Chains A and B, each alone.
Chain A
């Protein structure tokens, strides 16, 4: 212990207080504000994800997705699809008939798409006469994009001394799909009839009141006055007025071209066509025409009733039966039959193959039957486009008749309450005729259902005047062109599908 110092070894404590002062620093990391100078951004980007599915469900969904189609889908489709297709078919029928709950027929509304005066800028037309020029004939091209209009006089005191004019209008897209005047074809006499070829769009045939038949190829319209028109030999139809023209369809053309080969031994050209013209002298000429090879030859001439000691009929109209090769056997009819209407009202039934020779003449007489005659001049005759052997005719006394070539008496005789001037079948419709009215005070054109014997209610065809020519084209939309005695041309678009047809109409 003695070695111990006298210092007390008791530990003592002291506060360790540093005397030297340091600056207090704060290193807080809870940034409440963050600012960046020079960069502005107001874009708020938010994304909410929510899920109510439990993990087990998600796994189940995965299983379903892996399996396609989902279980039961095929069975479901097999169950409901027949019913669905049935309902779709029902909709089609309803659309076709425009069915409504009421039994009353709903009026179809035709839209007047264009109206124009076709004798504008034609000072020479009708010179030496106080009559105003009328529209004499109309024809649509096969595609419906061109309309040829013949303008002239309907009445001539002795013979025609008027100049004829054909105005060709073409649909122009730049003019809002309207008809725009493209070319004029002038003639020395009135052009009584114009006809576009039903399939070769550029071929236009016309005939005059002096008995000429002319073929134009409008594809070469630039050279129209340089001999591109082919004309029939002089003196055909006895230089009397040509009243009707008809382009033969393929089967009829084939028949006549075969006849020509047999008669002359000449080969036929691939683009040969057959044109048939009928004149007031009671003759009917069949022409082989080819605008490329400049052929215009007579195949055969018919003189109606030439073999009988009766005066030659003044032909006012004729039409050939429509032939469709795919008709069922029981509906097959002779494909060489044609019917001729005359100014005296008689209806002559003719056949190409049964034509007999006339003594001391090269002509043939094709008449094999006479049907019950109209009382007055037959204005127009047209075979049905859908029913073989059925045709309609109208006469100047407003009588509309429906004939079957297999019986002499008409199937129907309908006396209309308005004077009629011309007619045409409505394409794609079995029983509706488009009638051009004369001296109309309310409606210029009337649609008539020959099966039901009733007028089809159509609104929008209003107007007054005398319609002298009517032409119907069905290429896409149904367009009716009507020209009148004041040289007005009107074109309507008709929603033809909306015309209601009954079962009887369809079976007509």
Chain B
């Protein structure tokens, strides 16, 4: 079963420009990551907070609505966030070239 997760991460990582993939559980703990430990924890913590905030914003505006995807684009990177109730999938992509 674990291989399915590994394969999925590999598939995402094979995409051009992808620098890292992190899966975070509902407690904000990175349970699977292709990055080093410290970076994974950093992303998990910060992105977890941001996702929660964005989720609340969407809900505040329309209680029947739900956050499905979040993209954070910066000069160097783009962070793609797919949130769900139990987990958050974070993909960090290089956009500088």
Contacts and interface: CB of A to CB of B under 8 A. Distances in A.
B53 interface: no
Interface of B: 1-2, 4-5, 8, 11-12, 15-18, 23, 25, 31-32, 68-69, 71, 78, 80, 82, 84, 86-87, 89, 91, 93, 95
Given A73-B23, A76-B86, A84 B80 contact: yes
Given A69-B1, A74-B5, A88 B87 contact: no
Interface string A48-89: 000000000000000000001110111011011101110110
Contacts of A69: 1-2, 4-5, 31-32
Contacts of B16: 92
29 contacts: A68-B2, A69-B1, A69-B2, A69-B4, A70-B25, A73-B32, A74-B1, A74-B4, A74-B5, A77-B23, A80-B82, A80-B84, A81-B12, A83-B68, A83-B69, A83-B82, A84-B80, A84-B89, A84-B91, A85-B12, A87-B71, A87-B80, A88-B15, A88-B18, A88-B80, A91-B17, A91-B80, A91-B95, A95-B95
Interface in A356-391: none
A74 B82 CA distance: 14
Contacts of A84: 12, 80, 82, 89, 91
Given A74-B4, A77-B8, A88-B12, 6 more contacts: A69-B1, A69-B5, A73-B86, A80-B89, A81-B82, A91-B93
Contacts of A83: 68-69, 82
A81 B11 contact: yes
Interface residues of A, number: 19
B80 A76 contact: no
Interface of A: 68-70, 72-74, 76-77, 79-81, 83-85, 87-88, 91-92, 95
Q: Which of A70, A84, A87 has the most CB of B within 10 A?
A: A84
Contact of B8 (A68, A81, A92): A81
Contacts of B32: 69, 73
A334 to B, nearest CB: 37
Nearest to B90: A84
A69 B25 CA distance: 11
Nearest to B73: A91
B89 A76 contact: yes
A72 B26 CA distance: 12
Given A73-B31, A80-B82, A87 B15 contact: no
Contacts of A92: 16-17
